[in-house]
Amino acid sequence: MIYRLGGEGEGTDPAMRVLGINAIFHDPAAALVVDGQVVAAAEEERFSRRKHGKRPVPFSAWELPELSAAWCLSSAGVDVDSLDAVAYSFDPGLCRDAADLGLADPWDWLRVDYARRAPQFLAAALPGLDPEKVRFVPHHVAHAASAGLAAPPAGDDTAVLVLDGRGEVASHLAGVYRDGELSPLYSQELPHSLGLLYEDLTRHLGFLHSSDEYKVMALASYGRPKHLGLLRELVRVTDAGGFHVDRIDWASLAKAAEPGAELTEDHADLAASVQARLEEVVLDLARWLYDASGGASTLAMAGGVALNCVANARLAADGPYRDVWVQPAAGDSGTALGAALHVAGALGDRATPMSGADLGRGWSVEELEAELRRAALPYFRPDSIAAEAARVLADNGIVAWYQGRSEYGPRALGHRSLLAHPGDPATTARMNDVKGREQFRPIAPMVRAERFADIFDGVFPSRYMLFVHRVKPEWRDRIPAVTHVDGTARVQTVHTDTEPLVAELLAEFERLTGLPVVVNTSLNTAGRPMVDTPREAMELFGSAPVELLALGPFAVRRGALGGGR
């Protein structure tokens, strides 16, 4: 594997090394920060091949990211015993009795008990680790750091808003970063939680909570916010910068849906209503924070609710901030990175902003070729893999695009992507079939930064696909596959300085078709985590109707395999 650091083991290297761990609630993950810079970060699911690391069912509330942690260390050539600290993104010392917090979970103390023993568990999982090196970081401080310390420099203070399901005792944190230091301004205590509100709705609509919330967001575009008046009474913003969520009788608004059942207009209307109220509340909280922070020009966001790209777009459009930046791993996996940056800061290292989400595993060209040989696949090396892929896409073929290091966070951003033609209206159904997704779900476009403003309105740049944009009316019929029912698209802007290969592919596709965008979805099939290794990429290629596998500079064509089409 590539991207090793040099100079390890010499005994004189002053680099400060902090391993970040998220092992509680959702999406176990590990991250390694060296001298204030994130050098590796990965979700455990990419190694264990269990989506989100574990199922969101009772008593599966924790999992140590053993494999991802071991990879972070080995890829950077860092020995366990040379770590300065391990940052754990939950502080059991802050916890209170669940009944006290208004939570109906008689077993909550089990999670707290587990977290208290985390140093010993970690020492067992990472032989050689001194348990004394483990530092507990409050969950929402870890989320806040993943946004406020990882965002591009703002030039002044950075306001930070964490919108989550839950942490130790709270669900939200509003604060401001000054010179790398967080000043908390308000934190909303449980049981009031925007994340848990959205999770409850997700469950009521027959989806998997803590996993399928983005499906609810997609469904909302098909409905009308009929219940907005009632939700304004039940979900209220307080003068202190927080909010209250009263009990909601979901069944009185729409019948509970069984998993996999057909969803009705009632369900879409309910989703639209909650989504609309969420957007209003997020906007109010962000405005309060703007005033309380003394008018910071940049807002950085994290927490699971910050993956709601419709709410993010509204906040960017209607809120007071010049820039809104959202951590690409805004869910709990990002707390591994945030906890590590926070502790590195406490140890005196200034954080370096993230330059991209490609922080996971990568393979050298030689390693990729060896994998292809081992699998006995008939591959070739075209002059340009980008041009080769563009030709297949222009012929309406699907491309499995595997390049560089894998992405940290839930979005494929041109490293582990499944690409397709945006001009064919049938592409959406075809891609959703390949991926076993519901047909109401949109697929998203990537566009070269230079061409963005010709086709879309909205937040720019949008490197991490965390905002929705309006497709200009004259383009809607030309790129129907990526235009959602409400005329929007969740755009990734591709910048030549950071993603030259994808930019080349887009330019070549436009030369062939006149269309400056390509469909981009994650490289996985139904229910599986994103492809991470070359072998998984080849397995996907072998089991899905994909015309081209672009594995680094190498190409494997479906036709060359013989049999089938």
Q: Which one, of 369, 281, 366, 373, lies nearest residue 318 by Cα? A: 281
**Shortest distance, position 238 Cβ to Fe ion, whole Å:** 21
- The stretch near Fe ion (CB under 5 A) out of 161-169, 411-419, 441-449, 542-550 is 161-169
- C-alpha to C-alpha distance for 295 and 280, rounded to whole angstroms: 20
* Cis before 191 (ω within 30): yes
Q: Binding pattern to Fe ion, positions 291-330, x when CB under 5 A?
A: ----------------------------------------
Asked if 91 is part of the footprint of Fe ion (rule: CB under 5 A), the reply reads: no
- C-alpha to C-alpha distance for 465 and 226, rounded to whole angstroms: 29
- C-alpha to C-alpha distance for 382 and 555, rounded to whole angstroms: 7
Token pair of 134 as six digits: 């483990």
Site for Fe ion in 167-206 (CB under 5 A): none
Cβ closest to Fe ion, residue 197 vs residue 519? 197
> Which helix (H) or strand (E) element contains residue 534?
helix 534-543
**Shortest distance, position 307 Cβ to Fe ion, whole Å:** 11
- C-alpha to C-alpha distance for 169 and 187, rounded to whole angstroms: 9
- The stretch near Fe ion (CB under 5 A) out of 123-131, 331-339, 413-421, 550-558 is 331-339
Q: Any idea what DSSP says for residue 326?
A: E
**Shortest distance, position 337 Cβ to Fe ion, whole Å:** 13
Q: What share of the chain is helix, strand, coil (3-state, %, to 5)?
A: 35, 20, 45
Chain position whose Cβ is nearest to Fe ion: 164
- C-alpha to C-alpha distance for 135 and 339, rounded to whole angstroms: 9
Cβ closest to Fe ion, residue 164 vs residue 213? 164
Asked if 164 is part of the footprint of Fe ion (rule: CB under 5 A), the reply reads: yes
Sign of CA dihedral 375, 378, 382, 384: negative
Q: Any idea what DSSP says for residue 476?
A: H
- The stretch near Fe ion (CB under 5 A) out of 81-89, 162-170, 391-399, 408-416 is 162-170
Secondary structure (DSSP) of 490-521: --EEE-TTT-HHHHHHHHHHHHHHS--EEEEE
**Shortest distance, position 324 Cβ to Fe ion, whole Å:** 19
Cβ closest to Fe ion, residue 46 vs residue 166? 166
**Shortest distance, position 26 Cβ to Fe ion, whole Å:** 7
Sign of CA dihedral 410, 414, 419, 422: positive
Cβ closest to Fe ion, residue 22 vs residue 75? 22
First vs last C-alpha separation in the chain: 34
Asked if 332 is part of the footprint of Fe ion (rule: CB under 5 A), the reply reads: yes
Cβ closest to Fe ion, residue 203 vs residue 226? 203
Cβ closest to Fe ion, residue 305 vs residue 385? 305
Strand partners, 175: 160, 184
Cβ closest to Fe ion, residue 332 vs residue 547? 332
> Which helix (H) or strand (E) element contains residue 174?
strand 172-178
**Shortest distance, position 73 Cβ to Fe ion, whole Å:** 24
Q: How many CA atoms lie within 13 A of 265 on its CB side?
A: 2
Active-site residue set: 26
Cβ closest to Fe ion, residue 281 vs residue 482? 281
**Shortest distance, position 409 Cβ to Fe ion, whole Å:** 13
Q: Binding pattern to Fe ion, positions 215-254, x when CB under 5 A?
A: ----------------------------------------
**Shortest distance, position 140 Cβ to Fe ion, whole Å:** 7
Sign of CA dihedral 173, 176, 181, 185: negative
Token pair of 83 as six digits: 């770590």
**Shortest distance, position 207 Cβ to Fe ion, whole Å:** 19
Token pair of 41 as six digits: 């970060």
Token pair of 392 as six digits: 């297949």
Cβ closest to Fe ion, residue 151 vs residue 481? 151
Secondary structure (DSSP) of 378-437: -EE--S-HHHHHHHHHHTT--EEEE-SSPPSSS---SSEEEEE-SS-TTHHHHHHHHTT-
Kindly determine how many residues on this chain lie close enough to bind Fe ion according to the rule CB under 5 A: 2
Indicate the pairing of strand 554-557 with strand 469-471.
unpaired
- The stretch near Fe ion (CB under 5 A) out of 13-21, 74-82, 164-172, 367-375 is 164-172
Token pair of 311 as six digits: 């709410």
Cβ closest to Fe ion, residue 170 vs residue 530? 170
**Shortest distance, position 304 Cβ to Fe ion, whole Å:** 6
CA 158 from centre of chain: 21
Q: What is the 3-state secondary structure (H, E, C) of 125-162?
A: HCCCCCHHHEEECCHHHHHHHHHHCCCCCCCCCEEEEE
Cβ closest to Fe ion, residue 168 vs residue 499? 168
Strand partners, 31: 20, 41
Site for Fe ion in 448-507 (CB under 5 A): none
**Shortest distance, position 91 Cβ to Fe ion, whole Å:** 13
Residues at the interface with Fe ion (CB under 5 A): 164, 332
